[in-house]
Structure 1
Amino acid sequence: MDQTGALARWLADEAPHETVQGLFAGFCEEIVRSGIPVWRASLGLEVLHPEVSGWQHVWTSESLSMREADRATAATSPSYLNSPTRIVDEAGRPFRRRLKAPCPDMPLLEELRLAGGTDYVMYPLPFLDRTRTAVISFATRDIQGFDPASLDRLEHAVKLISPYLERHVLRRIAVDLLDTYVGPRTGQRIIEGRVDRGAVEMIEAAIWLADLRGFTLLSEQSPIPAVLTHLNTWFGIIGEVVEAHGGEVLKFIGDAVLAIFPTSAEGDRRAACRKALAAAQEFCRRSEAENTLRRTSGHPPLEHGLALHVGEVAYGNVGASHRLDFTVIGPAVNRASRLLDLAKRLDRSVLVSHALARDVDHPLVDLGRYRLRDVEKPQRIFTLPAPEHLVRPDHET
């Protein structure tokens, strides 16, 4: 069997396909074992994530490293603009340079030359999707560089590994998009195949429902870019706080946010309630700090309403046959919505239902009983503590 056939057999039967790192490292070792004098190899793969542009894996016989590139700066950074990757991206064909003379136009190649490199070649990976960066480069310290036979074998090797790498990239993109648009917990359920319309599971969760006050006036008086900046600042605080406390943002609805803190597999409702309340407290602190900065700089504060409740909800798919929404529905969600309406009427930033309040240890302020729209009996309502008049909720139903 020739060396190309041996590599194809290894990829099909023996290669470690669980991770990109393992696959790439094994691939490089197989290339060296076949007699090609590769000293260093680099794999660049672009993904689709709001913060991460992609991965770069660098292999040598002594080490394997990986770094992620920041999406905001990746395409304009000097390390990309003055790189072989940009040339291959734009030309769509291999790039090669013998490292005999200084390379002032490409700092990476000069670094490799000073480290003993004699030859460098980069190939585009022939992915079906050509819209994103996907490249492999090889460098050698062999005094003769890469001979024509070695270059030909490297090019064939790149074609052989390409579909295996694209499979990893496509899965990463799918997971990242689901995490970004529906959240990691929900995204995992979708990846597992839970896409039947009307298919739900009953779970118990603390419900976190918030909205931005004065948004209509803000939208009327401010240009759209300023409004989007306000929204993203506010949503950003919520997302960070909810995630840090073990919750998941399910959706942004205009200027409102719906998040849940599900109970654990053991059904620890008290833990879910404590997490939701701790998230609310941190959110209020972060919001006040942000508003202090905004007032100093002459920007309007971001005032909010937040309702906390707990109960059983139906968690799953609703929607049209070709357009589904993974969400939570049920009386508990409705009560959280009515509680948010009441927070606005009472001019309170945070309201906590008695159902959630009795499952937390933190003292709260008892506001008394209020009627919630479409709820038969008046409900006992609490808010976060002020320095005075603190009470601990009893277990009255």
Structure 2
Amino acid sequence: MGAAISICKASSSGAENGCSYVCPERGRMTYMDDIARWLADGAPHHSVGALFDAFCREIVRSGLPLWRASLGLEVLHPEVSGWQHVWTDESLSVAASDRATAPTSQSYLNSPTRIVDDTEQPFRRRLDKPCPDMPLLEELRLSGATDYVMYPLPFLDRTRTAVISFATRLPKGFDPVSLDGLEFAAKLLSPYLERHVLRRIAIDLLDTYVGPHTGQRIIEGRVDRGAVELIEAAIWFADLRGFTLLSERSAIPDVLAHLNTWFGTIGEVVEAHGGEVLKFMGDAVLAIFPTSAEHNRETACQKALAAAQEMCLRSEAENAQRRSLDTPPVVHGLALHFGEVAYGNVGASHRLDFTVIGPAVNRASRLLDLAKRLDREVLVSHALAREVDQPLIDLGRYRLRDVKQRQRVFTLPALGDVQTS
């Protein structure tokens, strides 16, 4: 590191030029040791925002001429590209960027972040003249900034954006010693940030692929094959009608668009009513509404039934729009059942699936087959119907495949239908 070098010098103009605290002369070794010790022992690590805010305050406290700092971290999420934390004058703001538009947005294409992403090298610009090529830097210049620098954070995974920037209002900008101190401080902060990013990615991926409740169980360590717990749940099984014919007659992109539209509606409806989609299987969906300390049997079943009703209403509205555009309607079948299921891990030693199994799941599947045979949009089992205080149409008793006794089934009342006891 070399001999001791001054980080900042006492000056009566320090505060108004962007350094809220003026420190005595200190050596670089001492300063870096202080930052490292603070990160290890005193920094808040419960969130990226808390850590970054405290880090910026520590930088200012130790004398570096910081006015504004920005942290850009990319994550893996189907809707969010990443998060930007901006610290200015001891205040912190956080904004998310949309995954669909972030890589092609003008704010990214005309930014220091894109240059650092492409080159993996620091970017610096003195803000002593207009910056028409970079609107962000021009905005900072007009706000009084005189110098700007951005560093790539040395994450182990270099495939995603991880950058930190600093700006000052000192008339002469950053001197070499300040730049050296900021870059080294960023390197010290980097592993703590990457730990947060990796955890965020793990949680987001589990939420995306297995659902938040199941993902939480996996994060907690419930990954032993065959490890299950018995729970009671309303089971929601749905599939598309005529999907095979659609697949044969339509181009694959059109089939995928059709399927994703339908899956998207189901996901919104199920989650809005407190359920969780466990899996998509071809053109079918399995979801559950489990009982809990807050949700008894009646509540879980009522939520599942309300979700089914909303799904039918939304499908009807979407199909009316599709018919007006001369496109084929989306026709679905839906089965609702209630019972005890085994909730946990099944599969091969290195490839597990967190799901629900048991006779109740099988009956829900057979009920879905019956809905197709009867050309009914929704069928409800007697096990679920008796838990809700809501009018349903009794269709009588039917035999379900591989189920010995005939089962009493119900459907939702249409306009003008009369409840059958």
Same fold (TM > 0.5): yes
Q: 2 CA distance for matches of 1:362 and 1:25?
A: 52
Q: 1 CA distance for matches of 2:292 and 2:328?
A: 39
C-alpha change, 1:200 and 1:392, in structure 2 (3 Å) is: farther
Aligned length: 393
Question: Would you say 1:320 and 2:348 are equivalent positions?
Answer: yes
Q: 25, 28, 46: which is aligned to 2:53?
A: 25
Identity percentage over the alignment? 80
The match for 1:259 is: 287
Q: 2 CA distance for matches of 1:385 and 1:290?
A: 20
Q: 1:376: how far off?
A: 1.3
Q: 1 CA distance for matches of 2:142 and 2:185?
A: 27
Where 2:285 maps in the other structure, the secondary structure is strand
Where 1:376 maps in the other structure, the secondary structure is coil
Once the two structures are superposed, the pairs formed by residues 81-92 of structure 1 within 5 Å of their partners are 81-92=109-120
Question: Would you say 1:168 and 2:196 are equivalent positions?
Answer: yes
Q: 1:83: how far off?
A: 0.2
Q: 211, 236, 250: which is aligned to 2:239?
A: 211
Q: 1:392: how far off?
A: 6.5
Contact 1:361 1:392 in 2 (8 A): no
Q: 1 CA distance for matches of 2:187 and 2:294?
A: 49
**Unmatched 5+ residue regions in structure 1?**
none
Contact 2:338 2:360 in 1 (8 A): yes
Q: 1 CA distance for matches of 2:194 and 2:97?
A: 18
Out of 113-122 and 365-374, give the one that drifted further. Answer: 365-374
Question: Would you say 1:99 and 2:127 are equivalent positions?
Answer: yes
Please list the CA deviations of residues 322-346 of structure 1 after superposition, one character each: whole Å capped at 9, or x if unmatched: 0000000000000000100000000
Q: 134, 142, 158: which is aligned to 2:186?
A: 158
The match for 1:186 is: 214
C-alpha change, 1:141 and 1:78, in structure 2 (3 Å) is: same
Please list the CA deviations of residues 98-133 of structure 1 after superposition, one character each: whole Å capped at 9, or x if unmatched: 000000000000000000000000000000000000
Where 1:2 maps in the other structure, the secondary structure is helix
Where 1:75 maps in the other structure, the secondary structure is helix
Q: 2 CA distance for matches of 1:232 and 1:291?
A: 15
Question: Would you say 1:272 and 2:307 are equivalent positions?
Answer: no
The match for 1:128 is: 156
The match for 2:22 is: none
**Unmatched 5+ residue regions in structure 2?**
1-28
C-alpha change, 1:211 and 1:89, in structure 2 (3 Å) is: same
Q: 1 CA distance for matches of 2:328 and 2:77?
A: 31
* CA-atom RMSD in angstroms: 0.9
The match for 2:75 is: 47
The match for 1:348 is: 376
Please list the CA deviations of residues 348-381 of structure 1 after superposition, one character each: whole Å capped at 9, or x if unmatched: 0000001101111221111111111111111111
Where 2:58 maps in the other structure, the secondary structure is helix
C-alpha change, 1:266 and 1:76, in structure 2 (3 Å) is: closer
Contact 1:50 1:71 in 2 (8 A): yes
Where 1:4 maps in the other structure, the secondary structure is helix
Where 2:400 maps in the other structure, the secondary structure is coil
Question: Would you say 1:248 and 2:276 are equivalent positions?
Answer: yes
Where 1:300 maps in the other structure, the secondary structure is coil
Where 2:167 maps in the other structure, the secondary structure is strand
Letter in structure 2 aligned against 1:11: L
Q: 1 CA distance for matches of 2:295 and 2:357?
A: 19
Q: 274, 282, 297: which is aligned to 2:325?
A: 297
Contact 1:104 1:110 in 2 (8 A): yes
C-alpha change, 1:392 and 1:60, in structure 2 (3 Å) is: farther
Q: 1 CA distance for matches of 2:322 and 2:264?
A: 15
Letter in structure 2 aligned against 1:387: L
The match for 2:171 is: 143
Q: 2 CA distance for matches of 1:182 and 1:303?
A: 26
The match for 1:6 is: 34
Q: 1:267: how far off?
A: 6.0
Please list the CA deviations of residues 52-104 of structure 1 after superposition, one character each: whole Å capped at 9, or x if unmatched: 00000000124110000000000000000000000000000100000000000
Q: 1 CA distance for matches of 2:42 and 2:102?
A: 35
Give the TM-score of the pair, scaled to structure 2.
0.92
Letter in structure 1 aligned against 2:367: L
Letter in structure 2 aligned against 1:90: D
Contact 2:53 2:90 in 1 (8 A): no
Contact 1:362 1:392 in 2 (8 A): no
Question: Where in structure 1 do 4 or more consecutive aligned residues deviate above 4 Å?
Answer: none
Letter in structure 1 aligned against 2:185: A
